[in-house]
Amino acid sequence: MRGSVAVRALPYLLFVFFAITPALAQFGAEGYILSLVMRVMIFAIAAMSLDLILGYGAMVSFGHAAFLGIGAYGVGILMSHAVTNVLAQLVAAVAASALFALVTGALCLRTKGVYFIMITLAFGQMAFFFFVSLGVYGGDDGLTLRATPTLFGTPVFENTRVLYYVIFAAMLGVYLLLRAIVASRFGRVLRGARENPVRMQAIGFDPYRFQLAAYVIAGAICGVGGFLLAHQTEFVSPAFMTWQRSGELIVMVVLGGMGSLHGAILGAAAFIILEEVLARITEDWKLIFGPFLVLVALFARGGLVGFLRRLGGRR
Amino acid sequence: MSTLLRIENLHKSFGALRVTDDVTLDVAEGELHAVIGPNGAGKTTLIHQISGLVAPDSGRILLDGADIALLPPHKRATMGVARTFQITSILPGFSALENVALAVQAREGSSFRFFGDPTREERLNAQALENLAIVNLAGRADIPAGELSHGEKRQLELAIALATRPRILLLDEPLAGTGREESERVVATLQALKGRYAILLIEHDMDAVFALADRVSVLVYGAVVASGAPDAVRADPEVRRAYLGEEV
Amino acid sequence: MYATLILVQTLNGLQLGIILFLIAAGLTLVFGVMDFINLAHGVQYMLGAYFAYEFTTLTGSFTLGLLMALPAALLAGLVLEAFIFRHLYDRDHLEQVLATFGVILFLNQGVKVVWGASPLFVPVPDWLQGSIEILPGFFYPIYRLAIIAAGLGVAALLYFLVNHTRAGMLVRAGASNATMVAALGVDIRFLFMIVFGFGAMLAGFAGAMVAPILSVEPGMGDNLLILAFVVIVIGGIGSIRGAFIAALLIGLVDTLGRGFSTDLLRLVMDPSAASQTGRAIAPMLTYILMALVLVFRPSGLFPVKK
Ligand SMILES: Nc1ncnc2c1ncn2[C@@H]1O[C@H](COP(=O)(O)OP(=O)(O)O)[C@@H](O)[C@H]1O
Ligand SMILES: [Mg+2]
């Protein structure tokens, strides 16, 4: 019983952990810890947005990193034209990624299952090669952001802690927003279409419209993640949007446990922190991390969240 | 009574197999028209074509005079075509109430709402509960649909169909796989619905068919071989040979 | 001169297509028959290349090395099947993705630990060295021709196995309806194991064949895996014929696209714009092709009926 309370408290524990990290980090390698945890939170945003379509909509996108890259380039391109206002950049990042999601999603959703996985990969790759070819914006090498971001003329994000809490607020906001969406009338239709699209059609819903809307929302939110990633790393590059990166996002969601949102946060944290910690222990950390993923797939149905739930919830 | 659903010269083949062979039939407002026929006769495929799951090769499907043969399934549903499936089709992870509430939500046409908890919307729940009560499931409203008994699932599916406020109900073997007691309850429910909706009923249970139907059509190898009042069809020698013969 | 260039590129494209087919054949069968997404299929290709390197160095003969690499690749596939994949056949696709992703990480790192991170080279066997004149004044490396010939031979063999043997009949039936095959009383586990091992061996064969012309290095299978997925999706999952046609198509489109898209664009643009657009479009071509195919044929060119 006590275990199951802990399981239900898991999302809150996660957010408390992220909230107090800066306070704890000052006793250690603060800069290093904060930048690592900021990275975790940004990927948590991207992974949660993927969880909306993958976990609740059964749409496995293998090109999700494209939105991360498009959001980041929204910042990078504007910065290189001396548009330093972060609100303008945010609007550009969200609009561009939402538009890309709308156009590609409308085509991708004509296919099902593995064909959907592969056509999303195709569009992701097209976005990747598009930015590789953009010589003016650094091509392969990417862009370093030299200008200082501003809000109404005053510099922002100069202070790491400020940036940290901006990212934290964004993650919390995305989590609450997605929770509301998933539980709403819209979300109920989306979940229904995941379970039984034929039944949903038979009562008068067109799953396509709902799935496309969810795809656009997910793309836009992931674009926010890209916006934050650009400011956190002060750099944008096509490397943000390789297919390997898209694959990692899927792995984060599945590792944490899909269809629960906080599972995506947990998955992003586990993936990035474990990678970091193992890499400090041995150069050959993948020899440990690889089998770890295999074991999770074999023995922890429902990912880490499912595993914890079974630990705690065994009545 | 005026004709609500009219099927004209419908044809469908799967490869060389003719599943619907020049079928013409109609269902009047408030009429219960039963379609019987041996397994593989093409009854389910006929319903699939009316509801839009399978595209006919040729022919017309008229709902109140308008041809719906080319519309997607969800459009037909919003126009008042509701159906159940031979193999029960529900949302197993949702509660019984939510299964029906979703159908109410579909009819209200306002599902692009991203905030607010629909499980607390009184109007949706009240209407859903009414429909559950019609099929005697009000007491099971909060049970996940996947955990209901087989018979209850069939009942639930009927409640879902009713919640869309259909003009015509297409029922594909609602008694299949139900026990005696359950099947009596379903027959009673259908008896109560009869006259209020146009119903196209596919059923194997002859007692139920002849007790319920206003009209019976017999489908054999995709073609209608007889059609008329229950007694006339029962007496038809060709029907007795082709179909009822197996039963006697 | 230009005609020769086109001919060379066409042959190069065919050769890439053949390699892709060897990888895609196993992938599409594993996917079609057991509904298993095997991301680790690319590392099996890589293992084939490393085995070929190892055994060639050991015996001093590429031919022997190749012959020994085949059973080694088969064994590696069977081991992975027995310990990991077998337990995931009836699981969610995404759990399969997670597990096979883990296998990729492990094996890519594993070969680095065993053989080092730097690229390894395997010499072209003596008797296949040099070029021959296949048209007056037109030379092409013998070894590359050998790859094409060997690949076509394997394709023919595969065609025979799938269409004219009992095991092949079961595999075809399994691709369209696995439960039916199980109902026939066939030991489905054994069938799966055979299909899996065979697929792994084909991928290993492809890796071994390219070892003398590409550098053998960790991660060499990753991009080919993605191309192989493109191939099986365009061809229609479970269809060997589809995989063959799509593999050649992708091999040609990719190679010719990289070779000539700039020249083609020059016909309609000024040179500098053409070269920039050409560089952008060439690597996208395969993906554009796949997206187009799927938009118009959502289940690929040769869908296997379910
Ligand atoms: N999608 C399909 N493809 C090929 N054959 C089908 C398909 N659906 C049904 N059939 C065949 O059509 C015939 C009629 O099926 P069905 O309509 O289910 O019959 P009934 O409901 O009268 O038992 C059967 O022989 C069945 O095997
Ligand atoms: Mg039937």
Q: What pLDDT does residue A309 have?
A: 84
Closest residue by Cα to atom 4, ligand 1, is: B14
Residue B191 scores a pLDDT above 70: yes
All structural domains of chain B: 1-80+167-248 (3.40.50.300), 88-165 (no CATH)
**Average pLDDT score over residue span B143-150:** 94
**Average pLDDT score over residue span B209-229:** 91
Q: What pLDDT does residue B246 have?
A: 52
Residue B171 CA, ligand 1 centroid: distance in Å:
17
**Average pLDDT score over residue span B116-141:** 94
CA distance A38 to chain C (A): 24
Residue A178 scores a pLDDT above 80: yes
Closest residue by Cα to atom 2, ligand 1, is: B14
CB C215 within 8 A of CB C203: no
| Percentage of chain C exceeding pLDDT 90 | 56
Q: Which of the two residues, A241 and A139, has the higher pLDDT score? A: A241
| Percentage of chain A exceeding pLDDT 70 | 97
CB-count exposure of residue B55 (10 Å: 0-12, 13-18, 19+): exposed
pLDDT tens profile A200-255: 999 999 999 999 999 999 999 999 999 999 999 999 999 999 998 999 999 999 99
Residue C24 scores a pLDDT above 60: yes
**Average pLDDT score over residue span A9-36:** 91
- The answer to whether the CB atoms of A290 and C105 lie below 8 A apart is yes
Residues of A with a Cβ under 8 Å from any B Cβ are 180-181, 183-189, 191-192, 195-196, 198-206, 210, 213
Tokens of C141: 């490396």
What count of other Cβ atoms lies within 10 Å of the Cβ of residue C287?
Answer: 24
Residue A4 scores a pLDDT above 70: no
Q: How far apart are CA C298 and CA B50, in angstroms?
A: 25
Residue C120 scores a pLDDT above 90: yes
Q: Is A11 helix (H, G, I), strand (E, B) or coil?
A: helix
CB C221 within 8 A of CB C46: yes
For an interface test with A, the pick among B102, B104, B117 (most A C-beta atoms closer than 10 Å) comes out as B102
Mean residue pLDDT across chain A:
93
pLDDT band at residue C165, thresholds of 50, 70 and 90?
confident
Parallel/antiparallel/unpaired status of strands B215-220 and B32-36: parallel
Residue C178 scores a pLDDT above 60: yes
Q: Which atom of ligand 1 is nearest to the CA of B173?
A: 21
CA angle (B17, B11, B73) in 5-degree steps: 105
Residue B240 scores a pLDDT above 60: yes
**Which of residues 156 through 175 in chain C touch A, CB cutoff 8 A?**
none
CB-count exposure of residue B38 (10 Å: 0-12, 13-18, 19+): middle
pLDDT band at residue B17, thresholds of 50, 70 and 90?
very high
Nearest Cα residue in chain A from C297: A111
Residue with tokens 């800069």: A31
Residue with tokens 């069968």: C29
All structural domains of chain C: 2-296 (1.10.3470)
Query: A15: closest CA among A165, A154, A124, A204?
Result: A165
Q: What pLDDT does residue A147 have?
A: 86
Q: Is B165 helix (H, G, I), strand (E, B) or coil?
A: coil
Q: What pLDDT does residue B35 have?
A: 94
Q: What is the DSSP letter of A256?
A: H
Closest residue by Cα to atom 8, ligand 1, is: B45
The preferred substitution site among B45, B46, B53, B218 for testing ligand 1, maximizing ligand atoms within 8 Å of CB, is B45
**Which of residues 31 through 70 in chain B touch A, CB cutoff 8 A?**
51-53
Residue with tokens 């489908």: B219
Evaluate whether chains B and C are touching (3 or more beta carbon pairs less than 8 Å apart).
no
CB-count exposure of residue C271 (10 Å: 0-12, 13-18, 19+): exposed
Residue B74 scores a pLDDT above 90: yes
Q: Note the Cα B25 to chain centre separation in Å.
A: 16
Q: Which of the two residues, B109 and A21, has the higher pLDDT score? A: A21
| Percentage of chain C exceeding pLDDT 70 | 97
Residue A161's alpha-carbon distances to A23, A37, A43, A91, C133, in angstroms, are 10, 11, 18, 23, 69
Tokens of A302: 């429902």
CA distance B121 to chain A (A): 10
Phi, psi (deg, nearest 5) at residue C212? -70, -15
CB A64 within 8 A of CB A46: yes
Residue C260 CA, ligand 1 centroid: distance in Å:
51
Exposure letters B80-102 (e unless 16+ CB within 10 A, then b): bbbbbbeebbbbeebbbbbbbbb
pLDDT tens profile A89-123: 999 999 999 999 999 999 999 998 889 998 999 99
pLDDT band at residue C306, thresholds of 50, 70 and 90?
low
Tokens of A123: 């569009």
- The answer to whether the CB atoms of B114 and A186 lie below 8 A apart is yes
Q: Is B13 helix (H, G, I), strand (E, B) or coil?
A: strand
Residue A170 scores a pLDDT above 90: yes
Q: Which atom of ligand 1 is nearest to the CA of B48?
A: 17
Q: How far apart are CA C248 and CA C19, in angstroms?
A: 9
pLDDT band at residue A1, thresholds of 50, 70 and 90?
very low
Query: C43: closest CA among C193, C230, C219?
Result: C219
| Percentage of chain B exceeding pLDDT 90 | 76
Q: What is the DSSP letter of B109?
A: T
N-terminal to C-terminal alpha carbon distance within chain A: 6
pLDDT tens profile B21-45: 999 999 999 999 999 988 899 999 9
- The answer to whether the CB atoms of A199 and B94 lie below 8 A apart is no
Q: What is the DSSP letter of A148?
A: P
Say whether residue B82 is in contact with chain A using an 8 A CB cutoff: yes
Tokens of C207: 């890796």
Nearest Cα residue in chain A from B170: A202
Nearest Cα residue in chain A from B53: A198
Residue A137 scores a pLDDT above 60: yes
Q: What pLDDT does residue B247 have?
A: 47
Q: How far apart are CA A18 and CA A121, in angstroms?
A: 32
Q: What pLDDT does residue C174 have?
A: 72
CA distance A216 to chain C (A): 19
For an interface test with A, the pick among C35, C39, C43, C94 (most A C-beta atoms closer than 10 Å) comes out as C94
Ligand nearest to the CA of B42: 1
Q: What pLDDT does residue A314 have?
A: 53
- The answer to whether the CB atoms of C298 and A123 lie below 8 A apart is no
pLDDT tens profile C205-241: 999 999 999 999 999 999 899 999 999 999 999 888 9
N-terminal to C-terminal alpha carbon distance within chain C: 49
Residue B233 CA, ligand 1 centroid: distance in Å:
24
pLDDT tens profile C132-152: 888 887 888 999 999 999 999
Residue C100 scores a pLDDT above 90: yes
Residue B44's alpha-carbon distances to A203, B24, B47, C257, in angstroms, are 18, 16, 5, 50
pLDDT band at residue C301, thresholds of 50, 70 and 90?
very high
* Closest by Cβ to A284, choosing from C109, C226, C294: C109
Nearest Cα residue in chain A from B158: A203
Q: What pLDDT does residue C105 have?
A: 93
Closest residue by Cα to atom 3, ligand 1, is: B14
What strands lie across the sheet with B66-67, from one edge to the other?
A: B17-28, B3-14, B58-63, B66-67
Residue B51 CA, ligand 2 centroid: distance in Å:
14
Closest residue by Cα to atom 27, ligand 1, is: B40
CB-count exposure of residue B181 (10 Å: 0-12, 13-18, 19+): exposed
CA distance C109 to chain A (A): 6
All structural domains of chain A: 2-314 (1.10.3470)
Q: What is the DSSP letter of A314?
A: -
pLDDT band at residue C33, thresholds of 50, 70 and 90?
confident
Q: What is the rounded radius of gyration, in angstroms, for the C-alpha atoms of chain A?
A: 19
Q: Note the Cα A134 to chain centre separation in Å.
A: 25
Q: How far apart are CA A198 and CA A212, in angstroms?
A: 17
Q: How far apart are CA B42 and CA B44, in angstroms?
A: 6
Query: C206: closest CA among C242, C238, C158?
Result: C158
- The answer to whether the CB atoms of A133 and C110 lie below 8 A apart is no
Say whether residue C31 is in contact with chain A using an 8 A CB cutoff: yes
Q: What pLDDT does residue A231 have?
A: 96
**Which of residues 262 through 281 in chain C touch A, CB cutoff 8 A?**
276-277, 279-280
Q: What pLDDT does residue B242 have?
A: 67
Q: Which of the two residues, C169 and B131, has the higher pLDDT score? A: B131
Residue B245 scores a pLDDT above 60: no
pLDDT tens profile B163-181: 999 999 999 999 888 888 8
Residue C277's alpha-carbon distances to A80, C226, C255, in angstroms, are 22, 24, 17
- The answer to whether the CB atoms of B93 and A188 lie below 8 A apart is no
Query: C29: closest CA among C211, C170, C186, C181?
Result: C170
Query: What DSSP element (H or E) covers B61?
Result: strand B58-63
Residue C99 scores a pLDDT above 80: yes
Residue B248 scores a pLDDT above 50: no
N-terminal to C-terminal alpha carbon distance within chain B: 34
Closest residue by Cα to atom 6, ligand 1, is: B14
- The answer to whether the CB atoms of B117 and A189 lie below 8 A apart is no
Q: How far apart are CA C98 and CA B191, in angstroms?
A: 53
Q: What pLDDT does residue C258 have?
A: 87
Q: Which chains touch C (3 or more CB pairs under 8 A)?
A: A
- The answer to whether the CB atoms of A188 and B105 lie below 8 A apart is yes
Q: What pLDDT does residue C223 have?
A: 86
Residues whose beta carbon lies within 6 Å of some atom of ligand 1: B 14, 17, 19, 37, 39-45
Q: Which of the two residues, A270 and B243, has the higher pLDDT score? A: A270
Say whether residue A140 is in contact with chain C using an 8 A CB cutoff: no
Nearest Cα residue in chain B from A196: B91
Nearest Cα residue in chain A from B116: A184
Q: What pLDDT does residue A315 have?
A: 40
Query: A249: closest CA among A72, A83, A55, A25?
Result: A55
Residue B162 scores a pLDDT above 60: yes
Residue with tokens 């073997």: B173
Task: Report helix angle C93-115 to A243-256, nearest 10.
Answer: 120
**DSSP assignment of chain C, as one string?**
-HHHHHHHHHHHHHHHHHHHHHHHHHHHHHHHHH----TTHHHHHHHHHHHHHHHHHHHS-HHHHHHHHHHHHHHHHHHHHHHTGGGGTTS-HHHHHHHHHHHHHHHHHHHHHHH-SS-B--PPPGGG-SEEEEETTEEEEHHHHHHHHHHHHHHHHHHHHHHHSHHHHHHHHHHH-HHHHHHTT--HHHHHHHHHHHHHHHHHHHHHHHTTTS-B-TTTTHHHHHHHHHHHHHH-TT-HHHHHHHHHHHHHHHHHHHHHHHHHHHTTS-HHHHHHHHHHHGGGHHHHHHHHHHHHSTT-SSPPP-
